[in-house]
Amino acid sequence: MNTVGHLNPPPADPMEDYTMTNILVCDDDKEIVDAIEIYLNQEGYQVFKAYDGEQAIKVLKEQNIHLLVIDIMMPKLDGIHATLKIREYSSIPIIFLSAKSEDTDKILGLNIGADDYVTKPFNPLELVARVKSNLRRYTQLGNLNVENNALFTAGGLCINDDTKEVTVDGESVKLTPIEYNILLLLVKNQGKVFSIDQIYENIWNEEAIGADNTVAVHIRHIREKIEINPKEPRYLKVVWGVGYKIEKQP
Amino acid sequence: MDNQKMQGNLSGNIQEGVQDGMEEKEGMGARESIGTPEIDGWENAENGRTADGGMQDKDRNADSGKEGHPAKDKKSTKSGREGRKKKKRRLVFLHSLQHLLLLAAVILLVTVFLSSYVIVETKNGPRFFSLLEQQQPRYFEDSNVFNTLLGNSASDIICYGAIRSQMETDAVFDARKEVDVTAFAGRYNGVPKEYITANYYLDDLIKWAQGGFQYENRYMNGEEVDGFLSRSRTVTRINPDEYNGTISYLNSDLKSITTVEDVSGNLLEAGMVERDGTDATILANRYHTVDGKNIENFVSSWDEYYALCENVRKAAEDLNINYEEYLKYRELYDPANSNVLYMIKRTIGDDTQIFTNASAKTSDPSALEKEIRKQCGKYIYYDPYNMKYETDTLIEEATLRYIVNGYDYAYPEDTQILIGVRSEYGARDCFYQARDGFHNYVPRVWQYVAGAAACILLYLVLLVVLTMKEGMVRKKETGEIVIRLYPEDRIPTEIMVLAAGIAVFGIYFVLSKVINTIWHTDDISSMRVAMTVTAAMATLVVSLFFSFFYYSFVRRIKGGTLWRDSLVRRTGSLIRNGVIYFCDHTALVLRIWVPAALLALVNLGIGLFAGYKLCERSMGACLVSCLILIGIDGAVGFILYRSALARQMILEGIKLIREGNLAHQVNEDGMHGDDLVLARAVNSIGDSVRTAVETSMKDERLKADLITNVSHDIKTPLTSIINYVDLIKRENIQEPKIREYVEVLDVKSQRLKQLTDDLVEASKISSGNIVLQWEKINLVELLHQTIGEFSEKFEERSLYLVFKAPKSSVYIEADSRRIWRVIENLFNNIFKYALAGTRVYVDLELSKISGAQEPGQKNGPGEVILSVKNISAQPLKINPEELTERFIRGDESRTTEGSGLGLSIAKNLTEAQNGKFEIVMDGDLFKVNLTFKLTEK
């Protein structure tokens, strides 16, 4: 809910310039497909609809689809098998949209070739944000040939230390200096978990005596700014009881 | 009265008492175990009596030393102890009294017995006479003893009279008395009318017999014979015409009616025939006849010579014997030595002879007879000639006649015999002794017997009383009567019986030896003393032994151990158990022991065979049999090894299954018999358990799956609802009512979403269907992070959070996301229900007292307690326990946000992570305590 204001109005999409982006939405529940269509249409995407796996594969073959949102539990051919088939010839971003919210389901989905996993019931705006994010990744893949020492990236998160600019999926994010420093520290050491004390000592350059929740509050603020859904962060993860880290992105 | 009551109590309690006694006995060993020694029935009486203080310490010590007091006694009061001592002393006294009574009885009876025999001196030495008669006479003279003695005396006197007639002339010993040897030698059978004899002097014959007869064997030719033997024989003839009566020998009788003449009854006198030479046995003529002749002078032939020699010898020897008898009788029946007076008058022809021991003031028979009758209370008068028999004794005429007939050569028909016993018993002879004994015995015998009977009666009464009381003691504490057993009562019954038997035989043996020795003592008076002392000692010993065994058996019977402690029962039960065991384990016994025995036999057999062959030096056979032996033993060993291996495999299988490896199957290949059965059983148990576990797990999974699936099915339509509500909201609706409705739809649909998520989570946690990722968690860090997350939310509601931690890092072992979920739920709870504007306290406390209840964790690093406190906005009207139930919420209206699963999930997750979750409510104070174990560094 907090993200609503943040993602609105949609920033100018670089891909809109050359061509219409086609998104295939596949779910056996027609109303959900329709709802998603409405949201995506609002963002200017062309939406194709399918109601089972076989239809989806068929549409994919007939149309030039740039992104697939697919449900897992469907008649005829379920989302998992459909994805496996699609991955045999296509590398388009695939977002699973499932009522299955178990960790195992998510891991399975991501492992067999999905790029993202959204659980039902979903926040429409989050879905839209994830669609955009994945499309950017897909279309910009291979375009980052400029090697810059001051440029730190973690997936869609990009920090330019020269300009002190932070972008998430190409969108600029405004951070306070402390938040920026914390994020920079974490991004520079991707995968490493920093405890509150360590972060405090690094940023404030003084010994952490009885560190309080200052750092935690800052982290929450950063998360709220860079994450689509702060409760399920993609970049800045909380390791509860240990510290914080930026997940190493593939 | 008290006694009666006690008895009633006793009989009522005896069963319990016995049981108690037995129980106690089994617990411990000795007499101490069985309660306090108390004697029933007397207790009240004893206590009622004044403690006279006469109980001396010495006695008590002696008592305690003897009886061995239980430790319990020492606790009891002094007066109680004295009372008990008194009772014990009384018991000891009664037992002693019992022994003494028996002793007295036996001494009395022995005295009676010994008195009932008199020992009297007779001519044959001391002799016993029993004074016991069926009809006990009042007077000595009526007793059997007296009459027997009198009879013996009569016999003696008649014999003595006969001898006197041979030895004496006019009542004086006449050494020069002539003896017709042939008549004397034939006195029993009589003599022919004409016989050859020789007359010798009495003393010559006696001396000849004492000196002995010498014979000489020599050959005599005819002339010598003729010179030796007389040519005529001297014949004595009895003139029967002058003798009336039977032809019997009465030597003094014969003289007057015999004639002696030489008879030349053959031709030798004429010297016409020569005699034949012959081997002759010649009697040396030590003495000569009255006429100064020798034997050969009276005979004319060898036959006559030898006959006369024989008669001389026989007469001499008989007279010698009679002479000794004579001396003895003369001494014995001297009036100074004997109370018997006698007079024998015999008339042979005109010659009247009188034998008497009465003082011979007069020779007149009638005066003598009168004198004797005057002196004697008891007499026998026998006059066969006049057919008279008078007596005031029990001796019958036949008896006397029989005796007299034995000496009929000495007593003619005209004989009078008077025998009497002097009334005053002046002489210390057998009558005197017998009378003395009789008078000692007869008047007192009944007193003695009555005394003995009384003693025995008392003894029996005591026996009954003590039997009833024996072994029973009253427990001090409970007052109930129990049976107390002594150590000897534990000896098996049969051994006790055997010991008793040995004692009986031992006593009997020793006693018989002793009595035998005493019996043959010469000293009669010391024998009596010895007999009495022996009897007393024997009685004491017997009594002690009897008491020992008897009371032991009494206690056994009362305690019910007579049969139980018997060897027969023990052996029987041993055998029975053995048989039962054998029956129960027949297969096992047969299977183990029969092959073992067979193997041993085979080993023995082959070993012996090999040894035999070795002895025979046939090495080949020995070697072969040794190899066979090794082969057989090896095979048996292999079978045993295989069995042990199978057992080992089964054991390992059981261990694995017990440790949770339910899929484990024991390999049944190569197993036989019991091992196979066992392996199959183990496998089947494992299968059953696995099936059960799998079923149960499947059920749980199904349940969780069901909830998950249902929630999926809910979520799909919910997605549409949420999406379309959102779409409606985007439609810029102006109508405020619609906007309000849509808002409600939005909130409720969001809540439904939360609810389904929580439901799934809760069901998964409670079914244990979660996998925990254990890692080391810094609780302080976690709390800072959480507080950071919630800072704005709390600010929203003006909740001020106070966090206190002992140090910067407190590590526990937990699943990072799950522990976060716990804390998050707690904080959410506070956020929802805490009174706005209050403080929230979060405290970490370290506790060294770790879960001491759990063994093995004793020396752990301690615990950490996280307590979260807040003031509830609503009054808390609910139990802490109920709060953690699913779907329970503090506000009953359920209007606030939340699924009602928060605390339930928190609690279940905490417990899943080995923590403790506790809710404390005190007024409006809501407090949650979480306890975790600290991890080791």
pLDDT for position B5: 43
Answer whether A238 sits within 8 Å of B716, measured CB to CB.
no
Task: Of B662, B582, B659, B598, give the one whose Cα is nearest residue B633.
Answer: B598
Residues B667-712 pLDDT 10s? 877 777 777 888 888 888 888 888 888 888 788 778 778 887 888 8
SS3 state of residue B839: strand
pLDDT for position A24: 92
Answer whether B785 sits within 8 Å of A238, measured CB to CB.
yes
B775–A contact, CB cutoff 8 A: yes
Answer whether B820 sits within 8 Å of A120, measured CB to CB.
no
Instruction: Decide: A67 and A91 in contact? Cβ < 8 Å.
Output: no
Query: Average pLDDT for residues B285-295, to the nearest whole number?
Result: 85
Closest residue, chain B, to A238 (C-alpha): B785
B757–A contact, CB cutoff 8 A: yes
Task: Of B398, B587, B550, B583, give the one whose Cα is nearest residue B471.
Answer: B550
Answer whether B723 sits within 8 Å of A35, measured CB to CB.
yes
The Cα angle at residue B218 between residues B216 and B222, in degrees rounded to 5: 130
The Cα angle at residue B595 between residues B590 and B601, in degrees rounded to 5: 125
Answer whether A99 sits within 8 Å of B708, measured CB to CB.
no
The percent of residues in chain B predicted with pLDDT above 70, rounded, is: 82
Cβ-Cβ contacts under 8 Å, B789 against chain A: 216, 220
Query: Residue A15: CB partners within 8 Å, gap ≥ 6?
Result: A21, A135, A136, A139
Answer whether A220 sits within 8 Å of B791, measured CB to CB.
yes
CA distance linking residue B793 with residue B750, whole number of Å = 18
Query: Which of B707, B752, B785, B795 should be substituted to probe chain A, the one whose Cβ sees the most A Cβ atoms within 10 Å?
Result: B785
Query: Residue B45: CB partners within 8 Å, gap ≥ 6?
Result: B2, B3
SS3 state of residue B214: coil
Query: Average pLDDT for residues A76-98, to the nearest whole number?
Result: 88
CA distance linking residue B395 with residue B148, whole number of Å = 8
Q: Quick one: tokens of B846?
A: 């370290």
Query: Average pLDDT for residues B537-556, to the nearest whole number?
Result: 86
| Residue with more model confidence, B199 or B67 | B199
Q: Name the pairing type of β-strands B117-122 and B481-483.
A: unpaired
Question: Is the pLDDT at A1 greater than 50, yes or no?
Answer: no
CA distance linking residue B640 with residue B399, whole number of Å = 100
Answer whether B789 sits within 8 Å of A102, measured CB to CB.
no
Angstroms from A216 CA to nearest CA on chain B: 4
SS3 state of residue B220: strand
pLDDT for position B386: 84
| Residue with more model confidence, B851 or B295 | B295
| Residue with more model confidence, B909 or B76 | B909
Cβ-Cβ contacts under 8 Å, A79 against chain B: none
Angstroms from B655 CA to nearest CA on chain A: 34
Question: Is the pLDDT at B75 greater than 60, yes or no?
Answer: no
Residues B128-139 pLDDT 10s? 777 777 777 778
Structure letter (DSSP) for residue B389: E
Answer whether A240 sits within 8 Å of B760, measured CB to CB.
no
Closest residue, chain B, to A30 (C-alpha): B720
pLDDT for position B453: 92
Q: How confident is the model at residue B806 (pLDDT cuts 50, 70, 90)?
A: confident
Query: Which of B711, B713, B720, B801 should be substituted to probe chain A, the one whose Cβ sees the most A Cβ atoms within 10 Å?
Result: B720
Cβ-Cβ contacts under 8 Å, B803 against chain A: 212-213
Percent helix, strand and coil across chain A, each rounded to 5?
40, 20, 40
Q: What is the pTM of this model?
A: 0.43
Q: Quick one: tokens of B389?
A: 């028999």
Q: How confident is the model at residue B240 (pLDDT cuts 50, 70, 90)?
A: low
Query: Which of A220, A225, A240, A245 should be substituted to probe chain B, the one whose Cβ sees the most B Cβ atoms within 10 Å?
Result: A240
Query: Which of A137-151, B19-33, B913-927 comes out lowest in average pLDDT?
Result: B19-33
Angstroms from A113 CA to nearest CA on chain B: 23
Cβ-Cβ contacts under 8 Å, A244 against chain B: 785
pLDDT for position B851: 45
Q: Quick one: tokens of B762?
A: 């809760």
* β-sheet bridge partners, residue B415: B346
Angstroms from B805 CA to nearest CA on chain A: 9
CA distance linking residue B635 with residue B642, whole number of Å = 10
Answer whether A196 sits within 8 Å of B784, measured CB to CB.
yes
Q: Nearest CB to A216: which of B726, B777, B788? A: B788
Angstroms from A59 CA to nearest CA on chain B: 24
Which residue's structure tokens are 């003369």?
A: B330
Sheet (strand B376-383) strand order: B351-356, B340-348, B415-422, B376-383, B388-391
Q: How confident is the model at residue A157 (pLDDT cuts 50, 70, 90)?
A: confident
Task: Of B758, B715, B746, B741, give the one whose Cα is nearest residue B898.
Answer: B758
Answer whether B819 sits within 8 Å of A211, measured CB to CB.
no
Q: Nearest CB to A211: which of B712, B784, B814? A: B784
Q: Quick one: tokens of B421?
A: 């016993």
Question: Is the pLDDT at B50 greater than 70, yes or no?
Answer: no
Question: Is the pLDDT at B293 greater than 60, yes or no?
Answer: yes
* β-sheet bridge partners, residue B281: B217
Question: Is the pLDDT at B248 greater than 70, yes or no?
Answer: no
Task: Note the residue count of chain A.
Answer: 250
The percent of residues in chain A predicted with pLDDT above 70, rounded, is: 86
Residues B470-496 pLDDT 10s? 877 777 667 777 777 888 888 888 888
CA distance linking residue B525 with residue B538, whole number of Å = 20
Task: Of B376, B294, B310, B322, give the one whose Cα is nearest residue B206.
Answer: B322
pLDDT for position A95: 92
Query: Average pLDDT for residues B170-189, to the nearest whole number?
Result: 82
Q: How confident is the model at residue A242 (pLDDT cuts 50, 70, 90)?
A: confident
Distance from first CA to last CA of chain B, Å, rounded? 84
Angstroms from B741 CA to nearest CA on chain A: 19
Answer whether B788 sits within 8 Å of A215, measured CB to CB.
yes
Q: Nearest CB to B777: which of A35, A215, A242? A: A242
Q: Nearest CB to A240: which of B711, B723, B820? A: B820
Question: Is the pLDDT at B552 greater than 70, yes or no?
Answer: yes
Query: Residue B589: CB partners within 8 Å, gap ≥ 6?
Result: B582
Task: Of B716, B752, B754, give the one whose Cα is nearest residue A72.
Answer: B716
pLDDT for position B406: 84
Task: Report H helices in A121-169.
Answer: 124-140
Answer whether A32 sits within 8 Å of B716, measured CB to CB.
yes
pLDDT for position B149: 85
* β-sheet bridge partners, residue A245: A237
CA distance linking residue B132 with residue B116, whole number of Å = 6
Query: Average pLDDT for residues B543-564, to the nearest whole number?
Result: 84
Closest residue, chain A, to B780 (C-alpha): A241
Look up the ipTM and state it.
0.70
Angstroms from A229 CA to nearest CA on chain B: 14
Query: Average pLDDT for residues A181-194, to the nearest whole number?
Result: 87
Angstroms from A181 CA to nearest CA on chain B: 18
Query: Residue B556: CB partners within 8 Å, gap ≥ 6?
Result: B485, B489, B493, B562, B565
Sequence letter at residue A89: Y
Q: How confident is the model at residue B354 (pLDDT cuts 50, 70, 90)?
A: confident
Task: Of B318, B195, B187, B311, give the one whose Cα is nearest residue B253.
Answer: B187
Residues B113-163 pLDDT 10s? 877 777 777 777 777 777 777 777 778 888 888 888 888 888 888 888 888
Answer whether A241 sits within 8 Å of B720, measured CB to CB.
no
Handedness of CA B641, B646, B652, B654 (dihedral sign): negative
Instruction: Decide: A112 and A83 in contact? Cβ < 8 Å.
Output: yes
Question: Is the pLDDT at A175 greater than 60, yes or no?
Answer: yes
| Residue with more model confidence, B758 or A46 | A46
B252–A contact, CB cutoff 8 A: no
Answer whether B712 sits within 8 Å of A100, measured CB to CB.
yes
Closest residue, chain B, to A118 (C-alpha): B719
Instruction: Decide: B357 and B334 in contact? Cβ < 8 Å.
Output: yes
Question: Is the pLDDT at B3 greater than 50, yes or no?
Answer: no
pLDDT for position A96: 92
Q: How confident is the model at residue B61 (pLDDT cuts 50, 70, 90)?
A: very low
Q: Quick one: tokens of A127?
A: 């879905």
Task: Of B168, B200, B195, B193, give the one whose Cα is nearest residue B248.
Answer: B193
Question: Is the pLDDT at A57 greater than 80, yes or no?
Answer: yes
Task: Note the residue count of chain B.
Answer: 937
Neighbours of B434 (CB within 10 A): 22
Instruction: Concatenate the DSSP letters of all residues of B858-897 into one string.
Output: TTS--EEEEEEEEEBSS---S-HHHHTSTT--SSTT--SS
Angstroms from B692 CA to nearest CA on chain A: 27
Phi, psi (deg, nearest 5) at residue B3: -60, -40
B804–A contact, CB cutoff 8 A: no
pLDDT for position B54: 40
Question: Is the pLDDT at B782 greater than 80, yes or no?
Answer: yes
Query: Which of A217-226, B43-52, B500-509, B783-792 comes out lowest in average pLDDT?
Result: B43-52
